[in-house]
A and B are shown apart, each in its own frame.
Chain A
Amino acid sequence: MSDPLIDRERLQEIADLDLLGGDVDEGLDAIARRAATELGLPIGLVSIVLDEAQYFAAQHGLTGMLAETRGTPVEWAFCSHAVRAKKPFVTSDATSHPLTRDTPLVQDGIRCYAGIPLVTSKGHAIGTLCVIGTVPRPFPDEDLAVLEDLAAQVVERIEARRRR
């Protein structure tokens, strides 16, 4: 089965939505901030998962290299797991999860993560709304419900770009 991250139609939809220009939508930054605030975590992101990297279309709380590059190589990206599976990806302790424990982001201090895939009306998972913390913590169903609701708002704003 081919890797959905390199699916041409998915990448073409990301291009058509014009999400990578660096001046996307202040409303998306506000949603990323709200996600982090609601869950009491330092970082919230709208991450667009490309073929070789993830790109942060909106962010709250990033510093250092990640703020400078506005993304990471895709093999570092926890968000890629949510996009490939089209399902939420959650780890309460990234040091013990087999998909995350060996990544450089864990070496840099990331400990917990919850990401909800952003699935468009065309059926493509183009990225995630995610929150990140530096200490382990569980994500109860109530937290994921908040993120699901905010992720739906992100998709609504992104879809509106198609209608402009």
Chain B
Amino acid sequence: METRPGTKLEPPTRTSALESLRRVLGEDAFDVWASASAEAGVAWRPDLTPEQICAVARVLAKRPGLVGTLGVSLRVRCETYLALQRGVG
């Protein structure tokens, strides 16, 4: 998997996002992701761009409770990756 030179930050993927949700939420992670994807207007498919992952993470981050906490975590990772892509230092 590609890693940005000097940052050691892998690009976010649907697989990595789902895995981080599943570690805490168990099998509910899939329904949570599907619901947030639909709200974000992102298709249920494996090859999402980092921008699409970030859009779903932003929806999750607005959810109440534990899902929102996990969403903030994903959102920070995605936004960090995108900021690095833009060269924000």
A residues at B contact (CB < 8 Å) = 6, 8, 11-12, 14-16, 20, 50-55, 64-65, 68-75, 102-104, 107-108
A–B complex contacts, Cβ < 8 Å, 18 sampled: A11-B66, A12-B65, A15-B65, A20-B69, A50-B72, A50-B73, A50-B76, A51-B20, A51-B24, A52-B73, A53-B75, A53-B80, A55-B72, A65-B88, A65-B89, A71-B72, A72-B76, A104-B7
Whether A73 pairs with B77 at a CB distance below 8 angstroms is: yes
B45: interface (CB < 8 Å): no
- A68-B9 contact, Cβ under 8 Å, with A8-B24, A108-B89: no
Q: Is the interface of B mostly helix, strand, loop or mixed?
A: helix
Can you name the residue of chain A whose Cβ is closest to the Cβ of B84? A65
Q: Once bound together, how far apart are the Cα atoms of A73 and B4, in whole Å?
A: 14
Which 8 pairs across A and B sit closest by C-beta, in order of nearness? A53-B76, A71-B76, A50-B73, A52-B73, A15-B69, A53-B73, A65-B88, A20-B72
List A contacts of B9 (CB < 8 A). 73, 104
Whether A50 pairs with B70 at a CB distance below 8 angstroms is: yes
Interchain nearest-CB distance for A9 vs B (Å): 10
List B contacts of A55 (CB < 8 A). 72-73, 76
List B contacts of A51 (CB < 8 A). 20, 23-24, 70, 73
Q: Once bound together, how far apart are the Cα atoms of A103 and B8, in whole Å?
A: 8
For the A-B complex with A51-B23, A69-B76 known, give 15 more contacts whose Cβ atoms are closer than 8 Å.
Answer: A11-B66, A11-B70, A14-B69, A15-B68, A50-B69, A52-B74, A52-B76, A53-B72, A53-B73, A55-B76, A74-B73, A75-B8, A104-B6, A107-B6, A108-B89
